[in-house]
Amino acid sequence: MLAVDRALEAARQPKQLLRQSPQPLPPDMLDVIKCAAGDEMTLARYGLERGLHQDSIRDAARVYLQHIVTHANGSDRLVLGLSRSATANDVREHKRWMLKWLHPDRNPSKWEANLFHRVKEASARLENGAGREPEEKPSAQAFSGKRDANRRRTLARHPAKPSRTPLKPARMRKRDVLRLIVVPMLLAGCTVAIAAITWFRFGPQGGP
């Protein structure tokens, strides 16, 4: 879907803006910026193709661009509506039309004046080759790999040393000694008593 169509869809359903991520940007972002700046030729072309009034297309383009600029998350490239493969000429063209749209002489509102300064600062950094781009957060697997690598380096620098404390032979407790002696003696005594009772009761002399 082209950027103009995205802008028109968001104008019809404003909640769609909350679901749309600025990345990746559609290929016709410069046309949307020109529509927001009020370029008559671009507005006339899209108005004729979509069968809409030029004011509707211009307003939709402005709202869509405001969403992109405010959700750029520190990316100078997104502030100007540029793709990752943008050239220096693209930076100049996007800057020219964005500032034309947001210039305080044409838009006295404080909101768009703030966007004007943001676009101006971002374009200056991009033109100087110092454009800012937010760092991508590494995945949990990457964190785990980095943690394992750090652990291996730590073990290599500080190998485990054997304990200097000599091993002591295990000592049996008195309770264990008594259990090993008394229990067999009790079992033997019970066995002898049962055998004696059985002999006297059912033996040759104990019968009726």
Structure tokens at 25: 């940007």
Q: State the residue for tokens 């000599």.
A: 166
Q: Name the helix (H) or strand (E) containing 157.
A: helix 140-157
Q: Is residue 179 part of a domain?
A: no
- Rounded Cα distance between 119 and 46, Å, is 25
Whether pLDDT at 195 is above 70: yes
Ranges 56-60, 109-113, 144-148, 203-207, most confident: 56-60
Structure tokens at 154: 């730590």
Q: Is residue 99 part of a domain?
A: yes
Q: Is residue 19 part of a domain?
A: yes
Is the alpha carbon torsion for 18, 22, 23, 25 positive or negative? positive
More confident residue, 6 or 187: 6
Please state the rounded mean pLDDT for residues 113-141: 79
More confident residue, 144 or 14: 14
Please state the rounded mean pLDDT for residues 103-130: 87
**Over the range 176-186, which residues count as b (16 or more CB within 10 Å of their CB) and which as e?**
eeeeeeeeeee
Residue 96: pLDDT band (50, 70, 90) is very high
Q: What is the pLDDT of residue 54?
A: 94
Q: Is residue 20 part of a domain?
A: yes
Structure tokens at 17: 């803006």
Q: Is residue 151 part of a domain?
A: no
Average pLDDT in the chain: 78
Whether pLDDT at 66 is above 50: yes
Q: Is residue 54 part of a domain?
A: yes
Q: What radius of gyration, in Å, describes the C-alpha atoms of the chain?
A: 42
Q: What is the pLDDT of residue 95?
A: 95
Structure tokens at 116: 């004007």
Q: Is residue 172 part of a domain?
A: no
The total domain count for the chain is 1
Q: What is the pLDDT of residue 80?
A: 94
Contact (Cβ atoms closer than 8 angstroms) between residue 30 and residue 94: yes
Q: The domain containing residue 109 runs over which residues?
A: 3-127
Q: What is the pLDDT of residue 16?
A: 63
- Rounded Cα distance between 8 and 57, Å, is 7
Please state the rounded mean pLDDT for residues 51-78: 90
- Rounded Cα distance between 158 and 98, Å, is 58
How far is Cα of residue 31 from the mean position of the Cα atoms in its chain? Answer: 32
Q: Is residue 86 part of a domain?
A: yes
Q: For residue 148, with 0-12 CB atoms within 10 Å meaning exposed, 13-18 middle and 19 or more buried, which class applies?
A: exposed
- Rounded Cα distance between 149 and 157, Å, is 13
Please state the rounded mean pLDDT for residues 43-69: 92
Contact (Cβ atoms closer than 8 angstroms) between residue 6 and residue 35: no
Q: What is the pLDDT of residue 146?
A: 52
Among 33, 32, 22, which residue's Cα sits nearest to residue 71?
22
- Rounded Cα distance between 41 and 65, Å, is 19
Answer yes or no: pTM beyond 0.75: no
Q: What is the pLDDT of residue 141?
A: 43
Q: What is the pLDDT of residue 144?
A: 45
